[in-house]
Every structure is written in structure tokens, then in C-alpha cells.
Amino acid sequence: MNNERSRLIGIGYRMLGSYSDAEDAASEALVRWYRLTDVERDAIDVPAAWLTRVVSRICLDVLGSARVRRENYVGRWLPEPVPGLHSVDSTAADPADVVAQQDSVTLALLVVLESLSPAQRVAFVLHDAFALPFDEIAAVLDRSPAACRQLASAARQRLHERHLVPADPIDHDRVVRAFAIASGGGDLDTLVSLLSPDVTLVSDGGGQVSAARNPVVGSDRVARFIRGITAKATDLDWHIETVNGLSGIVIRRSGQVFGVIGFHTMDGVVADVWIVLNPDKLRHWA
């Protein structure tokens, strides 16, 4: 069941934006499976489909309570970043499915998914990332297949409005590396040139670590904010590492991970910067 648990975590992570919550949801789904009698399990034709429905319903419940929790969150809430591509289903047979799953786990997408309703998010993840037909999604959401199709379509429209297209990993890596060099080199003009004029920076300290309570907007402001960090915190080491499938920056202090920076790049510049400092969201970055 290890592969099945990984798949369930992958579904949950995309739905919840929290790897920790996704692990809990996957574990709960498996507990419910093992609680079934032998007769009940034998009556289930496709166990993977049953588990998918169960974990999706658990995530729906979590999403409802998560909105309340995040209203009381200190500062801005960002998805929990993961190293590499933890949650991609490596058993996917079709290479195109693997690519789609990789695109569906980037921080850029997870941030946009936070703006969707729980039902839209579940419909989009199940259909677009895991290719579930709408009649199966209808059983999860207790709605008609046509209604589920509309939910997924509305989610895609939201992504389109945010100009969210899959980043080219090579171009993305080039921009991030140039950003890292300019951030530490004191060249403010070069750093500004690597940022979109309306770039937005959001940091998440969760009330445990000092972070900007409000977004920083505009290339000049973001550049000065970043240079302020690198100038003051000279004991921090910045390293280019894979964050949710794309190049990002991992910040360490005395060998311990202090923060993770994810990026959304577009047209050769940085469009969004997400800095996760909340230690509760960094436990996978040993």
C-alpha cells in the first residue's frame, strides 16, 4: 500500500496545499479501508477508485475548516513547499500524465488554487491532474457530471485570468539563478531588471518568524526588500534547489533550513516571489 499512500498524498497535497494535512488525509483514508470487513472489501471492484473518493471527501471537509483557520492565521498563508517532486505519482504509465502532474504541483498553481471554492478545487485536481472522468467526480462532490464539468472549467478560467501557464524549467532556472546572484551582489538595477514591473512578493512566517504582514508590490520595492534581507542577514546561505518541481532558493542558517523561496517566472522575469519561513511548513527540508 506504500505506492497507494503516495498517490493519495499527491491528491491531498494538490487539494489542500499542505503536505502535512495531505499525509493525515491519506492515512485516514487507508484506516477506513482497513476497517472494512473482508466481505465489504471484496465488494469493491476498484480499490484505488474507492480510496480516491474517500480521500477527496476527507479533503473537502478539511478545506471547509481550513478556510476558518486561515482567516485567523498570522500574516499571509502560503502553501507548504516540498523538495523535488515528492507528490507526483511516479507509477503513471503515460509520460504526458507525468508532465501534467508535475505542472499541477508547482507553487504557482497551488497559490492560485487557494482562490477557488473547495468544490472547484476538487473537480480541477481530480480531472486535470489525475484524469478522473466527471461521472466519478460527481460521486465525490454529490453533484451531476455536468455541474462538475462546469466547476473544473471555472477553475481553468481562473488560471487563465492569472496568466498561469506551465513554466519552461530551463528558462525558469536561468531567471532564478540570475535573481540569486543579483540579490547577493548588491546590484539593485540588475535585480530590478529581473523583476516584472508589477511583481508581488508574499512571505509567510505564521506568527513564528518575522515576516512581512502584507504583500510587497512593484519591482523597485521588491528589489529593495530582498536586498534588505541579504544585507542584514549575512549569516544566511542561499542555495538553488528544486522546489515543487522547479528551481527555487533554500535559505539555511548554520546548516539548518530557515526558509524556502518559490518563484513564478514569465517572459524571462520574475512575476511572483513566495517566501515560506514558517518552520511548521519546512519539516521536509532536512
Comparing 229 with 99, the larger pLDDT belongs to 229
- Find out whether 83 and 243 touch, Cβ atoms under 8 Å: yes
Is residue 93 over pLDDT 80?
no
C-alpha cell of residue 143: 453533484
- Find out whether 259 and 282 touch, Cβ atoms under 8 Å: yes
Beta bridge partners of 204: 276
Is residue 274 over pLDDT 70?
yes
Measured CA to CA, the distance from residue 200 to residue 222 in angstroms comes to 7
Is residue 102 over pLDDT 70?
no
Strands 195-204 and 269-276: parallel
* DSSP one-letter string for 68-98: HHHHTSSS---PPP-BTTTTS-TT-SSHHHH
- Among the listed ranges 46-60, 97-111, 259-273, which one has the minimum average pLDDT value? 97-111
The residue among 227, 232, 17 whose CA lies nearest residue 104 is 17
Mean pLDDT of 33-49: 94
Measured CA to CA, the distance from residue 278 to residue 237 in angstroms comes to 17
Comparing 186 with 22, the larger pLDDT belongs to 22
Contacts of 254 (CB under 8 A, 6+ apart): 235
Mean pLDDT of 52-81: 89
| Confidence (pLDDT) at 94 | 42
| Confidence (pLDDT) at 100 | 40
| Confidence (pLDDT) at 71 | 77
The residue among 96, 97, 155 whose CA lies nearest residue 123 is 155
The residue among 122, 88, 63 whose CA lies nearest residue 244 is 88
Q: What is the overall mean pLDDT for the chain?
A: 89
Is residue 96 over pLDDT 60?
no
Q: Kindly indicate the confidence band of residue 73, based on its pLDDT and cuts at 50, 70 and 90.
A: confident
| Confidence (pLDDT) at 145 | 97
Q: Kindly indicate the confidence band of residue 251, based on its pLDDT and cuts at 50, 70 and 90.
A: very high
| Confidence (pLDDT) at 85 | 58
Is residue 87 over pLDDT 50?
no
| Confidence (pLDDT) at 75 | 87
Mean pLDDT of 133-150: 96
